[in-house]
Amino acid sequence: MANLPTASDSFKDSLPDASPAAGAEPALRGELAALSEPERQVALERFQMLRPHLEEGAALTIVAQEANLSYRTAVRWVSLYRRFGLAALARKGRADRGKRRALSPEMTKVVEGLALQKPPLPVAALYRQVFQLAQQQGQKPPSYSMVYDVVRKIPHDLVTLAHEGTKAYAERFELLHRREAERSNAVWQADHTLLDVLVLREEGEAARPWLTIIQDDYSRAVAGYYLSFEPPSILRTALALRQAIWRKQDARWRICGIPEVFYTDNGSDFTSVHLQQVAADLKMRLVFSTPGKPRGRGRIERFFATLSQRCLCELPGYLVRGGGIRGKPRLTLPELDAILGTFLLEIYHLEEHSQTGQTPQARWESGGFLPQTPTSLEQLDLLLLTVAKSRKVHPDGIRFQGFRYVDPTLAAFVGESVILRYDPRDLAEVRLFHQGRFLCRAICPDLASETVGLREIVRARTQRRRELRMGLRERQKSVATLLDLKRGSAEGVTDAAEELADEKVTDAKPADSAVLPRPDAAPPLRRYLNE
């Protein structure tokens, strides 16, 4: 039985001559070396699809069906391979790829210009304007899909800059320089945030508290914090910095010292003249972030997110994103303060950080450095505690905020004015300064766990009385010495007065001698007739 011609054979007869054109074969064969590896892989995959037909003579219709190709595509690939070799099977991009075939360059710019207007127009309204403009200029109006395609392919950074402004563009697309601290206490960051939890005030009203955090940039450890219902101020910043710099009472919290750089935003509390004076005295350099670009403080922002996700979200009164409150608020500010302290010391400082690969506590202690600290806490208080109240020292102590503060040192300053500085979080004690110098630490027996005993008060009173008497004797002695000097200079006058007095005594009656004054006695008082 004679072999019947197949459809591929009849179609093959209609193809042009498969012999390579003169001068074309060398150039196309050389293309294989110029192809990239992905393009070579595509060419080889297509050749593997056509191999049964090219090498084994299988029908091209069956080969195309098994390879999930259209028959015309398979015929075109076979023709290209036979004419130009394997390189011809590589995927070739369109010569006009990326160019607008339907819209002229001028019309494309018009569409893009309308799309970048502020406020942005809906695509439907934009299309109507383009349609009318094309009709007015005698051009063929583009279709809606053409206009939409032009709008969709405008770069996102250009759209953001046009519609949202420079600030939004900078936050999303500008290249960042990430600052890295080289050691502990090289750079500290500070920032405030309004916590996503409701806490009860003293009067029972629920409110969101403010948290001020000071964080070591190198270790990500928290050096100090301050929690308050009051908005950020220079006092809150000073109190947080005071806690961060000085040694903590809890031995587990070892982060302390004076940082080399204090990095903050441009808030009024950070840029105040007082903080600049404090920084100059402590030899601490102030560095402020670029206004309107808070991304330089990303690490402390991340800590706020960690605090919210790991600690605050489990507390009653937590504010859920999108609205709503999780549980009824029942925590007070001191209770929340204790919870934050426990979270820092028992969880955050002891968990490995994803970026550093160490726990914040261990990373801060690495290197065996010795933190630089102020000479005394009193010196630090005089610098940082800006709330200064003038008070008079009474016999029973100092009265402030309805409380009475006493200390044996005050026995020597009764009746004088002193400057009182205090920490609003702890009214159990206040620090007193006299003429710019630290005087003592006075305590309130009603608030503090310690008291001042009666014996100490009596001892202080006796000592003060003794000091006053000694001072009185010294002054009396000085006066007596001065009078003696005056008598020695007037001895001649005194002798003449004595001789004159002797003569008067000789001539006078015996009764008169009883009323004559002694030479060293004070002159008698003058009396008037009406007396």
Q: Are 452 and 445 in contact (CB under 8 A)?
A: yes
pLDDT of residue 213: 92
pLDDT tens per residue across span 111-130: 888 888 888 889 899 889 88
**How many CA atoms lie within 13 Å of 522's alpha carbon, on the beta-carbon side?**
3
**How many CA atoms lie within 13 Å of 226's alpha carbon, on the beta-carbon side?**
26
In a domain, 481, yes or no: no
pLDDT of residue 15: 43
Same domain, 44 and 115: no
Q: Which of 124, 150, 173 is the last residue of a domain?
A: 173
Residue 235 has pLDDT above 60, yes or no: yes
Structure-block tokens of residue 157: 């950074």
Q: 367: phi > 0 → left, psi -120 to 50 → alpha, else beta; which?
A: left
pLDDT of residue 23: 42
Same domain, 159 and 123: yes
Kindly report the number of other CB atoms within 10 A of residue 75's CB atom: 19
Q: How many helices (H) and strands (E) does the chain have?
A: 18, 15
Residue 156 has pLDDT above 80, yes or no: yes
pLDDT of residue 102: 62
Residue 342 has pLDDT above 90, yes or no: yes
SS3 206: strand
In a domain, 319, yes or no: yes
The three-state DSSP-derived secondary structure of 21-83 is: CCCHHHHHHHHHHHCCHHHHHHHHHHHHHHHHHHHHCCCHHHHHHHCCCCHHHHHHHHHHHHH
Residue 391 has pLDDT above 50, yes or no: yes
User: What sign does the CA torsion over 359, 364, 369, 373 have?
Assistant: negative
When mean pLDDT is compared across 112-121, 128-137, 211-220, 264-273, the lowest value belongs to: 264-273
In a domain, 372, yes or no: no
Q: Which of 458, 486, 517 is the last residue of a domain?
A: 458
**Angstrom distance (rounded) from CA 180 to CA 60:** 64
Residue 110 has pLDDT above 50, yes or no: yes
**C-alpha 128: how far from chain center:** 49
Residue 349 has pLDDT above 90, yes or no: yes
In a domain, 473, yes or no: no
pLDDT of residue 20: 40
pLDDT of residue 515: 46
Q: Is the peptide bond between 119 and the residue preceding it cis, with omega within 30 degrees of 0?
A: yes
Strand partners, 200: 206, 332
Between 294 and 202, whose confidence is greater? Answer: 202
**Domain enclosing residue 55, as ranges:** 7-89
Angle between helices 144-152 and 105-115 (to 10 degrees): 70
Same domain, 226 and 136: no
Same domain, 328 and 282: yes
Angle between helices 71-84 and 37-56 (to 10 degrees): 100
**Angstrom distance (rounded) from CA 378 to CA 374:** 9
Same domain, 351 and 398: no
CATH number for the domain spanning 109: value is 1.10.10
Number of folded domains that form the chain: 4
pLDDT confidence tier of residue 302, bands split at 50, 70 and 90: confident
pLDDT tens per residue across span 453-499: 445 556 666 777 777 778 777 777 777 777 777 666 655 555 555 55
pLDDT confidence tier of residue 174, bands split at 50, 70 and 90: low
pLDDT confidence tier of residue 510, bands split at 50, 70 and 90: very low
pLDDT confidence tier of residue 198, bands split at 50, 70 and 90: very high
Stretch 69-95: mean pLDDT: 82
Q: Are strands 403-405 and 398-400 parallel, antiparallel or unpaired?
A: antiparallel
pLDDT of residue 477: 76
In a domain, 325, yes or no: yes
Total residues belonging to the chain? 531
In a domain, 213, yes or no: yes
Stretch 205-214: mean pLDDT: 92
When mean pLDDT is compared across 5-14, 275-284, 397-406, 500-509, the lowest value belongs to: 5-14
User: What sign does the CA torsion over 19, 21, 26, 30 have?
Assistant: negative
Q: Which of 458, 487, 519 is the last residue of a domain?
A: 458
Instruction: Give the rounded percent of residues in the chain with a pLDDT score beyond 70.
Output: 71
Tokens 């080969």 label which residue?
A: 63
